[in-house]
Amino acid sequence: MTQPANVDVVVVGAGVAGMYAVHRFRRDGLTVRGFEAGADVGGTWFFNRYPGARCDVESVDYSFSFSDELQQEWDWSEKYATQPEILSYLNHVADRFDLRSAFTFDTRVESAIFDEDAVEWVVRTDAGECVRARYCVFATGSLSAANTPDIPGRDRFAGRVLHTAAWPHDGVDFTGMRVGVIGTGSSGIQSIPMIAQQAEHLTVFQRTANYSVPAGNAPMTDEHRDEQKAEYAERRRLSRLSGGGSPFQPHPHRALEVGEEERRRAYEERWNMGGVLFAKTFPDQTSDPAANDTARIFVEEKIRSMVADPVIADRLIPKDHPIGTKRIVTDSGYFPTFNRDNVTLVDLRETPLHEVTESGIRTTGEHYDLDAIVFATGFDALTGSLDRIDIRGRADRTLREHWRGGPRTYLGLGVDGFPNLFLVTGPGSPSVLANMILGAEDHVDWIADAIGYLDRHGYRGLEARTDAVERWQAELAERADRTLFPRANSWYMGANIPGKPRVFMLFLGGFATYREICAQVAESDYDGFELVDAVRRPRP
Ligand code: NA7
């Protein structure tokens, strides 16, 4: 079927955000075209198929809330869903709401250029198609532009080279192979135990040790599932009142307001709940260095108890960032993996990476013979996927140029000089610091409501005002400066990509506060946005 070349909205990306965007815009009677580089829906979950890939938010929370029928009919099999299960869920959603018909797959958007006279976005793809739209919504994901570091000799290696974020669809059999994994973020830490079980030998190249908490994963019993489904509405309500978009609140007291025994009990409880939630045991854990230290000491003890060799344990204990200021990884058997005879840990702080050779990796210490190298080296987060598209706003100004000093947004939703362009869960929003599905739903709903408002009032669009962007950027910085987050060389800070401006890119005030701010802006007739009016005079 021929797709229209003129629509109300173009949606870029068919991950969770783009999928919901198509659904919601269509429901509002808007015409939509979607473009997706992958061959099907799923975004992150389509590409990141490495062994052990799993969400670090409980499956029951990391799922769409917009349809209660969908919530009730889908059965999660585990507390934390694996990548294949999440992808089959997203496929189910795509089928159920006929989302694929709006998307053109295997197609990258190459440019999006604002036509000031027509007040339209002109979107061009790598297939040579050109579509005009009143609004352009970038649902391009926070972690979708994979980062492969430029290690000398990278292309010389004769064995297999893999990146966790572009994993082959038919899987990889490491049996009998000597495998090297570079990187110990979530992707490395999740895949290392699985690869170790299969490979003849695994060498882990660690630049920065990372905090990781066992998932405490478990199969979902029928009884537990029924209970969760019966309480879904309440669970969602609590999630929306929380800091992280899941129905959990930190301890009511600050870490040092309680005695040693209570503090230990609280940490133990969170440790047993599993995963990333450990970072929010106490409300001041990532803002007060003394509180942070109590969490650090607790986790260090845990790591030492899991790793037999004290020298290896010491290498695995992070030294250079406060706990929680890089995302705590949710793992399945990571630390005990280093007790295996077929696993070697190479600390790149002691012996830095020197080069990739035809037959392996050479550090300043020695050469490691390898049959496969796995890059688990992360992403050009938050801005990378947008940077790769030629986006031009008023006066032909590129977004790349506009963001040269770091991303600048209003609410993480709009950009000054780029009318009718919306970002979903991008820089300036809580993004990955909160439940990404609920966050994406909120953003899409906010955008759809805004379009509805503009249409009802005869406006042709809206544009973030520069003063509002500056106020928002100042607010992000002030909130970050009250915490320990800027101390870490994290991807939140852009610190993992050489040359990227060092700016804390996210809103740290929590999910509930952020939702409230966005709602207030909408209620105040989009305060901070200029309304573009072809029919009436501009708003004073
Ligand atoms: P991350 O968390 O960015 O981890 C990437 C890892 O790769 C990290 O350990 C990096 O070390 C390491 N890395 C990156 N470049 C190099 C070079 N040049 N040499 C050695 N090691 C390197 O990405 P993930 O994919 O694991 O996880 C991203 C998010 O996805 C995660 O937080 C969850 O939200 C889901 P570094 O720490 O920079 O020293």
What is the Å distance from ligand 1's center to 390 Cα?
A: 26
CA nearest ligand 1 atom 2, residue? 185
- Distance separating alpha carbons of residues 534 and 33, to the nearest angstrom: 24
Tokens of 290: 């003394």
Mean local confidence (pLDDT), 176-198 = 98
What is the Å distance from ligand 1's center to 182 Cα?
A: 9
Confidence of residue 1 (pLDDT cuts 50, 70, 90): low
Ligand 1 pocket, mutate which of 150, 187, 331 (most atoms under 8 A from CB) = 187
What is the Å distance from ligand 1's center to 184 Cα?
A: 6
Ligand 1 pocket, mutate which of 496, 497, 502, 505 (most atoms under 8 A from CB) = 496
State the closest ligand 1 atom to the C-alpha of 164, by its place in the atom list counted from 1: 25
Mean local confidence (pLDDT), 411-423 = 98
What is the Å distance from ligand 1's center to 212 Cα?
A: 13
- Distance separating alpha carbons of residues 159 and 203, to the nearest angstrom: 15
Position of tokens 């990781």? 212
What is the Å distance from ligand 1's center to 207 Cα?
A: 9
- Distance separating alpha carbons of residues 188 and 307, to the nearest angstrom: 18
Q: Residue 314: CB partners within 8 Å, gap ≥ 6? A: none
State the closest ligand 1 atom to the C-alpha of 188, by its place in the atom list counted from 1: 26
The residues pairing with 181 across neighbouring beta strands, listed in sequence order, are 204, 374
Mean local confidence (pLDDT), 181-192 = 98
Position of tokens 């919530």? 71
The ipTM assigned to this model is: 0.99
Confidence of residue 534 (pLDDT cuts 50, 70, 90): low
Position of tokens 């068919």? 14
Do 329 and 321 form a contact (C-beta atoms < 8 A)? no
- In this predicted structure, the answer to whether residue 261 has a pLDDT above a threshold of 70 is yes
pLDDT digits (tens, 9 = 90+) for 211-224: 999 999 999 999 99
- Distance separating alpha carbons of residues 239 and 249, to the nearest angstrom: 9
Q: What percent of the chain has pLDDT over 70?
A: 99
Within a 10 A sphere around the Cβ of 247, how many other Cβ atoms? 19
CA nearest ligand 1 atom 19, residue? 207
81, 151, 449 from 346: Cα distances, Å:
30, 16, 52
Q: Which DSSP helix (H) or strand (E) runs through 229? A: helix 222-230
pLDDT at residue 20 in the model: 98
Confidence of residue 537 (pLDDT cuts 50, 70, 90): very low
Mean local confidence (pLDDT), 418-439 = 97
- In this predicted structure, the answer to whether residue 254 has a pLDDT above a threshold of 90 is yes
CA nearest ligand 1 atom 24, residue? 378
SS3 464: strand
Confidence of residue 2 (pLDDT cuts 50, 70, 90): confident
What is the Å distance from ligand 1's center to 93 Cα?
A: 31
CA nearest ligand 1 atom 4, residue? 185
What is the Å distance from ligand 1's center to 384 Cα?
A: 15
What is the Å distance from ligand 1's center to 327 Cα?
A: 10
- Distance separating alpha carbons of residues 316 and 310, to the nearest angstrom: 10
Q: 132 — phi, psi (to 5°)?
A: -105, 140
State the closest ligand 1 atom to the C-alpha of 189, by its place in the atom list counted from 1: 26
Tokens of 512: 């509930």
CA 51, 356, 151, 388 torsion: positive or negative? negative
Confidence of residue 535 (pLDDT cuts 50, 70, 90): very low
pLDDT digits (tens, 9 = 90+) for 61-119: 999 999 999 999 999 999 999 999 999 999 999 999 999 999 999 999 999 999 999 99
Ligand 1 pocket, mutate which of 190, 377, 425 (most atoms under 8 A from CB) = 377
Using CB atoms within 10 Å of the CB of residue 385, give its burial: 0 to 12 exposed, 13 to 18 middle, 19+ buried. Answer: buried
The residues pairing with 97 across neighbouring beta strands, listed in sequence order, are none
**Ligand 1, residues at Cβ distance < 6 Å:** 143, 149, 164, 182-188, 207-208, 327, 348, 353, 376-378, 432, 491, 496
Do 295 and 321 form a contact (C-beta atoms < 8 A)? no
What is the Å distance from ligand 1's center to 70 Cα?
A: 34
The closest of 41, 144, 58 to 97, measured between CA atoms, is 41
State the closest ligand 1 atom to the C-alpha of 377, by its place in the atom list counted from 1: 7
What is the Å distance from ligand 1's center to 157 Cα?
A: 21
Burial 166-191 (b: 16+ CB within 10 A, else e): ebeeeebebeebbbbbbbbbbbbbbb
CA nearest ligand 1 atom 14, residue? 377
CA nearest ligand 1 atom 27, residue? 186
What is the Å distance from ligand 1's center to 117 Cα?
A: 44
CA nearest ligand 1 atom 3, residue? 378
What is the Å distance from ligand 1's center to 424 Cα?
A: 23
39-48, 141-150, 189-198, 274-283, range with the lowest pLDDT: 274-283
pLDDT digits (tens, 9 = 90+) for 280-314: 999 999 999 999 999 999 999 999 999 999 999 99
The closest of 169, 163, 171, 199 to 373, measured between CA atoms, is 163
At position 334, the amino acid (one-letter code) is: Y
pLDDT digits (tens, 9 = 90+) for 430-477: 999 999 999 999 999 999 999 999 999 999 999 999 999 999 999 999
CA nearest ligand 1 atom 12, residue? 183
Do 224 and 231 form a contact (C-beta atoms < 8 A)? no
